[in-house]
Amino acid sequence: MPGTPPTRFVYLGPEGTFAEQALRTVPAAERGDRTPARSVGEALDAVRAGEADSALVPLENSIGGAVGVTLDELAEGEPLVITREVILPVEFVLAARFGVTLAEVHSVAAHPQASTQCRGWLRDHLPDATVVDVLSNGAAAAGAASGEYDAAICAPIGATRHRLTVLADKIADHPDAVTRFALVSRPGPPPPPTGDDVTSLAVYIAHDRVGALLSVLMELATRGVNLTRIESRPTGEALGRYVFFLDCTGHVADVRLGEALQGLRRVCADVRFLGSYPRHRWSPAAGDRPVPAPAGLSDTDYADAAAWLARLRAGELN
């Protein structure tokens, strides 16, 4: 029913991972039903099939880069749209059963990405421990809880869920690392503009046209639309064929972004709208502020120019 808040949420599982921790920052999800999925594709297909209202999936990591499987899923199949982004600090902990000390840790369960991001800490504090690869941070915590491993590198929520004792926190080599998640739903009216929004697109360029990518960038630049991210992925059609994923500041309801979208529609082979949604304000740093429209390119400027043109067409020269 239009306007009904979502109550059924699915996320990339298993339980006790950063994805669940990120989803629980969404008020409606904290109150609603949360179900883990085995893969990004399974989570998104549950939304497409109407089995869930929204899915939370990882989009990119500040260390590992874009999550290719999520981008591929958004570019293909039945369309879905992003309605919210969540940026979560990646704070790994070393956790073990009650009574286990750091000196007694000889085996550590960890997802390969987690152990890679904690390599320096492991070298300095557990140089003789064996690190065992597992499928997820949640599986690492479960393995430590069952006694299969002495300890686990996991998310704080994993330690809490499995009643583990945190032997060391903030053990990642990059303390400022974050993961960006997308809350994805079936197509519908986007959230209203807030003045600090992101619009995501999947753009297919005309490969037989010289300067096709430059034309895409010019449609944005000439209207003062700030491009905050660009990522290419192969389409699978043929070698050298790519789809470009763009994140732009602004909302589809903004005049300048609306004109840019019309321009992209004219010059691109195809454009898939992936959503306009509020930007996640996650850092108090000075750089975490909206980028203002350049002089002459605000919605007020566009409205004034449109009114001026209307007067000219009506024969009014004042």
Kind and range of the H or E element at 33?
strand 33-37
**Pairing status of strand 65-66 against strand 54-61:** antiparallel
What kind of fold does domain 93-169 have according to CATH? D-Maltodextrin-Binding Protein; domain 2 (3.40.190)
Evaluate the CA torsion angle 238, 239, 240, 242 in order and state its sign: positive
Count of CA atoms in the C-beta half-sphere (13 A) of 159 = 21
Evaluate the CA torsion angle 289, 290, 294, 299 in order and state its sign: negative
Q: Do domains 1-89+178-188 and 93-169 have the same CATH topology?
A: yes
pLDDT at 238: 65
DSSP per residue, 116-180: HHTHHHHHHH-TTPEEEE-S-HHHHHHHHHHTSSSEEEE-HHHHHHTT-EEEEE---SSTT-EEE
For the chain, residues with pLDDT lower than 50 are 1-2, 286
Q: Which amino acid is at 130?
A: T
- Tell me the pTM: 0.81
Phi, psi (rounded to 5 degrees) for 136: -160, 165
pLDDT at 282: 56
**Pairing status of strand 197-204 against strand 242-249:** antiparallel
The residue ranges of every structural domain in the chain are 1-89+178-188, 93-169, 190-317
Per the CATH hierarchy, to which homologous superfamily does domain 190-317 belong? ACT domain (3.30.70.260)
Q: Does the domain at residues 1-89+178-188 carry the CATH identifier 3.40.190.10?
A: yes
Q: What percent of the chain has pLDDT over 70?
A: 92
